[in-house]
Amino acid sequence: MPKMPGLSRAAMILAAIGPSIFFVLATQSETTQESTPLLLAVHDAPIPFTGSDGRTHLVYELWMTNFTSGEAEIQKVEVLGDGVVLQTLDQAAIATRLQPAGQRDSTGTMAKGTQSLLFLHLILPSGAQIPQQLTHRVEAHYAAAPPTYQHVTETGGTVTVDRREVLQIAPPLNGSNYVSADSCCDATRHTRAALPINGSVYLAQRYAVDWEQLDADNRIYNGPREKLESYTIFGKPVLAVADATVAVVVKGQREQIPGKFPTDISLDQADGNAIILDLGQHRYALYAHMQSESIHLQRGAKVKRGQIIGLVGNSGNSVAPHLHFQLMDSELSLGSNGLPYEIKDFQVTAKTPGTKAFDEAEANGNPLALTPFTPALAVKDALPLDQLIITFASQ
Ligand SMILES: [Zn+2]
C-alpha cells in the first residue's frame, strides 16, 4: 500500500475500499476528509443582470454526479451567497429543476453513476448586494449506503459570480404587441437547452427569446394556420441591436410551412436563415429563422444600431414565424455560452397566462387572454422576462 501521510490506519483501510464509503473518515491530520457521494460543480458562473421586473437575477446550472452504486434522492438544496442562505429548494422544487444529462424531463432522483443538471434561478431581494461567491448545501438520501449513512449533507459547487459588464442593446424589433416567448428564466425550452457540441456541453440559448407578435385581437395568427402571411410577425423588420460587424450569414433556406416542425433539418440548418453580429468584446448576437431573400448583408459588413438587417421568417427548425434572438460569447450559435443583456428602453403592456396558453394560442390561433398592466410599465436597461407583451419604441 502506498504511503498516505496524515491518514490514520482506519482511514487508510476505508480509503482502500473505494468510492462507496459514506463514513466521515477518522484522521489524525488537520484536514478532515468527508465522503462526498455527490460531486458538485458549476461550469458557467452566473452573470447577474437586471430583469424587466427591476430585480437582479442569476441563472446557472449546478452539475451533480451521483458517484455511488445506487439511487440518490435529492431532498434539499440551499444556495448560499457569501455564507448566507439565498434560496432553499425543497424536494418538490428540485423535482422540477433537476434533469439527467441529455434529457428534457426533470426528476428529483438520480440513478446510480449518473450526472444531472440542477437549473437554478436566483432573484435577489430589492436592494440586496450581489454576492461574490456562491456555494451549495445539498441533502440527499443514498440507497447504496448502510442504513446509518444513507442521509448525507455536503457542500460544494463553489463559484465566483461573474461580474463582467452586461451589454446594453437596442431592441431587435420595432413596434408593439410583441411576446417574449420562452424567455428567461424558468421557461425550459431555451434556459435548459444544454447541448453537447464539439466535445463540450453548452447553453448558448440560456437567455434566448422567441419573439412573437399579436394582432389587435391578441392572436398570433389570423387566417389559415399553414400560411406564412397569417402570422402577425411575419415580414417584420429585424434590427441591429448595436453598431456591429456581421460575423456570420446563413442564407438559401426555404420557408417552412407553419403548424408543424420540419423533420429533415440538420444541426447546421436549425437556425434557418440567420445573421450573427459581432458586438465586440466576445459578444455576439444571433437572429434566427429569417427570410432568405431579405438578407443582403455579407460577412464583414458594418451595421449601425437600428439598421434593418432582414425580415422575420419561418426558416429552419421553426413551427411558426418568429424571431429567435440571443447573445452568446462566440460566433457559434450552439457551441457557445449564452450571455444576458439589457434592452435600453421598452414598455411592458401586459402579460400572458404562461407558456401553456401561449402554445395553445400558437396552435389554434385563438386570442391570448392577457392581463394588462395599467399603466404600462416603462422599463430601462433590463432583460425582458418570459411571456410579457412588449412595445419597442424606435431608438
Ligand atoms: Zn428559439
- Over residues 129-149, the pLDDT tens digits come to 999 999 999 999 999 999 999
Of the two residues 395 and 352, the one the predictor is more confident about is 352
pLDDT of residue 126: 82
Name the nearest CA neighbour of 388 among 135, 183, 245. Answer: 183
Of the two residues 119 and 21, the one the predictor is more confident about is 119
Ligand 1 center to 290 CA (angstroms): 12
DSSP string, 58-88: EEEEEEEEE-SSS-EEEEEEEEEETTEEEEE
Mean pLDDT of the chain: 93
77 strand-pairing partners = 89, 138
SS3 content of the chain, % helix, strand, coil (to 5): 10, 45, 45
Ligand 1 center to 93 CA (angstroms): 25
Ligand 1 center to 89 CA (angstroms): 28
Ligand 1 center to 45 CA (angstroms): 23
Segment 161-213, tens digit of pLDDT: 999 999 999 999 999 999 999 999 999 999 999 999 999 999 999 999 999 99
pLDDT category of residue 31 using cuts at 50, 70 and 90: confident
Ligand 1 center to 230 CA (angstroms): 20
Ligand 1 center to 322 CA (angstroms): 8
pLDDT of residue 254: 96
Segment 295-344, tens digit of pLDDT: 999 999 999 999 999 999 999 999 999 999 999 999 999 999 999 999 99
Ligand 1 center to 270 CA (angstroms): 10
Ligand 1 center to 95 CA (angstroms): 25
Ligand 1 center to 335 CA (angstroms): 15
- H or E segment to which residue 345 belongs: strand 341-351
Check whether 9 has a pLDDT greater than 80.
no
pLDDT of residue 127: 85
